[in-house]
């Protein structure tokens, strides 16, 4: 997810909301309320879908800690229009959801951030590696497990590339490992736990980490870079790193619950948004516009943190074959943006929407697609 050029696996974009209230007083035209841009969004988004050959997009905008605008445009598959009942596969923005479930379990005293996981779950591939006994949930949520992103990258065998905690290495396998640990320790399905501690309390009745009967006729199908359509992915087991189906509005509700600091202690929430290892050097080496990189950025617990001089931005992005997503917010300003698309060119749509709603141009310059859009139409 986040930062495709800072971390090679992170294929999508994250954006910096530039809506400081004190600045609005001095430059109202530059920092128009997103609520006042609804007409422009309604008019321009269908054009963006056509221009970039993306079937559908779902958008939710947060201001002052509330959803002020949301809408869905386009086609969920070849035959059917998308609407607010359409469920999008969120790709890697599922990772912060997995993290939130775990942090809420910590606050309930059921798990701990620094407990060794091997006592409850030990993958057979690393059973004989002494480093497995040092692996903790903190390593997973800060992407310091020492694993590759997925085990298929290491001949379908899970193995350590380095000692846990040594350096950042984005890993979906780490989130899967955390899910198995929780399930073994609590002897419950992770999706049932997510329902209990997050989805039900936050009124997210259209969200699930595994396939459901109520998915029928509601899933957005992916459209690939070659212009062909795929089938929606439905999972029988929770993987933690992806697999979440939801709507942009429900994901926005999740973000608002974080803004309101619900179900987690103030101390733990503060720790969640503390950068574990600074990656500014990596940003300056890989960004489209290196001078746009903040002085500090890196993973907290489940989210990517950007410490700009005026405010801290929190976000994550996602990329599957034929799908692109974004979730980003500011705790200080209580603003946020969620965008979900079902097209390989989704980042082009996401960035243009970001510009319409007034996100920071310097930040966009760091993460915008490096190649100009190229049509697949003949």
Judged on CB neighbours under 10 Å (0-12, 13-18, 19+), 372 is: exposed
Kindly write down the DSSP assignment for every residue of 203-264, as one continuous string: T-TT-BSS--GGGTTTBPPPB-TTS-B-PPP--SS--SSS--EE-HHHHHHHHHHHHTT-SS
Q: Which two tokens stand for residue 208?
A: 């699930």
Kindly write down the DSSP assignment for every residue of 91-130, as one continuous string: GGGGHHHHHHHHHHHHHTTS--TTS-GGGT---GGGTT-G
Instruction: Name the nearest CA neighbour of 137 among 167, 119, 115.
Output: 115
Within 10 angstroms of residue 213's Cβ, the number of other Cβ atoms is 5
pTM for the predicted model, two decimal places? 0.91
Strands 66-74 and 56-63: antiparallel
Phi and psi torsions of 35, nearest 5° = -60, -30
Taking domain 21-367, whether its CATH number is 3.40.710.10 is answered by yes
Residue-wise pLDDT tens digits, 338-361: 999 999 999 999 989 988 987 777
CA distance 223 to 227: 6
Q: Give whole-number Cα distances, 306 to 89, 273, 295, 327, in Å.
A: 25, 10, 9, 14
Q: Say what angle helices 95-107 and 172-186 make with each other, to 10 degrees.
A: 30
Element containing residue 140 per DSSP (H, E): helix 137-141
Instruction: Name the nearest CA neighbour of 111 among 204, 192, 191, 187.
Output: 187
pLDDT tens track, the chain, 378 positions: 344 444 433 333 333 334 443 343 433 443 456 656 899 999 999 999 999 999 999 999 999 999 999 999 999 999 999 999 999 999 999 999 999 999 999 999 999 999 999 999 999 999 999 999 999 999 999 999 999 999 999 999 999 999 999 999 999 999 999 999 999 999 999 999 999 999 999 999 999 999 999 999 999 999 999 999 999 999 999 999 999 999 999 999 999 999 999 999 999 999 999 999 999 999 999 877 888 899 999 999 999 998 988 888 899 999 999 999 999 999 999 989 999 999 999 999 998 998 898 777 777 777 778 787 888 775
Phi and psi torsions of 289, nearest 5° = -125, 90
Would you state the pLDDT for residue 378?
Answer: 58
Q: Is the distance from CB of 86 to CB of 249 less than 8 angstroms? A: no
Q: Say what angle helices 346-356 and 38-52 make with each other, to 10 degrees.
A: 160
Q: According to DSSP H, which parts of 148-205 are helical? A: 172-186, 190-194
Tokens 């609005």 belong to 24
Would you state the pLDDT for residue 31?
Answer: 44
Would you state the pLDDT for residue 32?
Answer: 54
């Amino acid at each position: 997810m986040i930062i495709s050029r800072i971390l090679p696996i992170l294929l999508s974009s994250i954006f910096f909301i530039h809506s400081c209230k004190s600045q609005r007083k001095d430059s109202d035209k530059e920092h128009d309320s997103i609520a006042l841009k609804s007409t422009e969004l309604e008019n321009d988004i269908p054009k963006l879908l056509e221009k970039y050959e993306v079937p559908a997009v779902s958008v939710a905008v947060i201001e002052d800690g509330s959803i002020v605008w949301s809408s869905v445009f386009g086609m969920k598959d070849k035959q059917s229009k998308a609407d607010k009942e359409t469920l999008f596969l969120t790709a890697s923005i599922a990772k912060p959801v997995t993290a939130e479930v775990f942090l809420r379990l910590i606050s309930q005293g059921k798990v701990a951030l620094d407990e060794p996981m091997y006592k409850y779950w030990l993958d057979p591939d690393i059973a004989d590696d002494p480093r497995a006994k040092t692996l903790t949930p903190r390593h997973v949520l800060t992407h310091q497990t020492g694993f590759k992103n997925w085990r298929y990258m290491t001949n379908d065998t899970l193995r350590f590339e380095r000692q846990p905690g040594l350096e950042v290495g984005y890993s979906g396998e780490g989130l899967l490992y955390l899910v198995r640990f929780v399930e073994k320790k609590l002897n419950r399905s992770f999706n049932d736990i997510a329902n209990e501690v997050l989805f039900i309390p936050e009124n997210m009745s259209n969200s699930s980490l595994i396939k459901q009967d109520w998915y029928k006729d509601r899933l957005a199908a992916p459209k690939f870079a070659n212009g062909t359509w795929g089938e929606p992915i439905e999972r029988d087991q929770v993987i933690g790193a992806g697999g979440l189906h939801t709507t942009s509005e429900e994901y926005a509700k999740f973000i608002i619950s974080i803004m309101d600091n619900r179900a987690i202690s103030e101390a733990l929430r503060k720790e969640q948004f503390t950068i574990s290892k600074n990656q500014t050097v990596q940003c300056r080496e890989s960004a489209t516009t290196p001078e746009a990189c903040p002085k500090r950025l890196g993973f907290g617990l489940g989210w990517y943190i950007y410490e700009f001089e005026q405010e801290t931005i929190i976000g994550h992005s996602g990329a599957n074959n034929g799908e692109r997503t974004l979730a980003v917010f500011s705790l200080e300003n209580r603003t946020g943006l969620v965008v979900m698309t079902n097209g390989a060119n989704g980042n082009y749509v996401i960035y243009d929407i970001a510009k319409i709603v007034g996100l920071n141009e310097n930040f966009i310059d760091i993460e915008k697609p490096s190649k100009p859009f190229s049509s697949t139409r003949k």
